[in-house]
Structure 1
């Protein structure tokens, strides 16, 4: 089963047509909504990969709903409209939508647009993951540096010797260096007291 999609349009016939086209391509339709407010509630509940949404709808239009959805989470939005006015295109872009299609929508137009929108989401997810890992790595480095300073002071060691002592302890206790550093920061360097450094020769 492919990615999860929510379809939003106040016309039930259009929703049915979109569902059929997407399901034929193997996509999973997580839910349907008939206005922007329902779309926001559904997205919050289902966390789909993509929302395909009409612009002109009662209660709340698609552009306003897109703004809210994009702030809530990293769900891609593909907007549909019967109008191709420049202002709408600009509004759609400022709402952070991935793609924009003018009705009536054919399968030949819909499926490539869906693929583009989903591939953009995958790239954004990958970038977010990389940034999170980088942030974690920086935090770990900071923790190790702080712990190393404590070990240097406690045992009157040079920086390189303190680091080697921590590495030895990391291997002896079978724990990552970052976790050992967290223990030193929390409980002090006492657990390293029994560990002697190897001879330099």
Structure 2
């Protein structure tokens, strides 16, 4: 079990105090507390917590689901939503907001602590997978550009595929730039000479 930085958001001060006691008992730090959605967003952006635990129904113009959606879209932290209602509509809103867990009040250590651990672990796993996808997309795009540049060199200079690639690779090493940049320069030079 890790030591996580948590922000608690609920209009009920007593609830926040009780949840804070449960979290600190297990080594987590509550790095911010708020009673409304707008304050929650400001806290999350400034304190960069590992987790946001927020009530679905907050006073003011922004409820917990709206905050959760913003926090998810901006990739700020995983979110656990709490609610006094177990209605299907709350569950559907939680799915739409992409929350990590929905806990029904009153909360106990037996439900809160596993939800905290799973929410943070799953969030990090998803973030790692998203980064891997981004890297793979970048690699694929680079490969397409290099293939196009090789084709141009093969066509205009009568090189074999291996010779065209070696020329691009040699330029990359000589100029100390990526193969992609050299390939893009070949493509650009070819389009200017048309």
TM-score range, shorter chain: 0.7 to 0.9
Counterpart-to-counterpart distance in 1, 2:121 and 2:59: 30
Shift of residue 172, structure 1, vs aligned partner:
5.4
In structure 2, the partner of 1:193 is none
Deviations 1:97-148 (A, max 9, x none): 1111112211221110111111221121011101110111012112212322
Give the alignment partner of residue 162 of structure 2, picking from 160, 163, 172. 160
Counterpart-to-counterpart distance in 1, 2:140 and 2:113: 41
Deviates more, 1:143-152 or 1:120-129: 143-152
In structure 2, the partner of 1:199 is none
Deviations 1:41-79 (A, max 9, x none): 222333433210112221132223223332333522111
Shift of residue 8, structure 1, vs aligned partner:
0.4
In structure 2, the partner of 1:194 is none
In structure 2, the partner of 1:80 is 82
Mapped contact 1:66–1:95 kept (Cα < 8 A): yes
SS at match of 1:83: coil
Q: Residues 136 and 30 from structure 1, CA distance in 2 versus in 1: closer, same or farther, beyond 3 angstroms?
A: farther
SS at match of 2:85: coil
Aligned residue-pair number? 188
In structure 1, the partner of 2:66 is 64
Give the CA RMSD over aligned residues. Answer: 2.5
Aligned positions of 1:84-99 closer than 5 A: 84-99=86-101
The TM-score normalised by the length of structure 2 is 0.81
In structure 2, the partner of 1:13 is 14
- Runs of 5+ in structure 1 lacking a partner? 189-201
Give the alignment partner of residue 100 of structure 1, picking from 99, 102, 110. 102
Mapped contact 2:57–2:64 kept (Cα < 8 A): yes
Q: Which has the larger radius of gyration?
A: 1
Counterpart-to-counterpart distance in 1, 2:93 and 2:109: 25
Mapped contact 2:10–2:16 kept (Cα < 8 A): yes
Deviates more, 1:43-52 or 1:5-14: 43-52
- Runs of 5+ in structure 2 lacking a partner? none
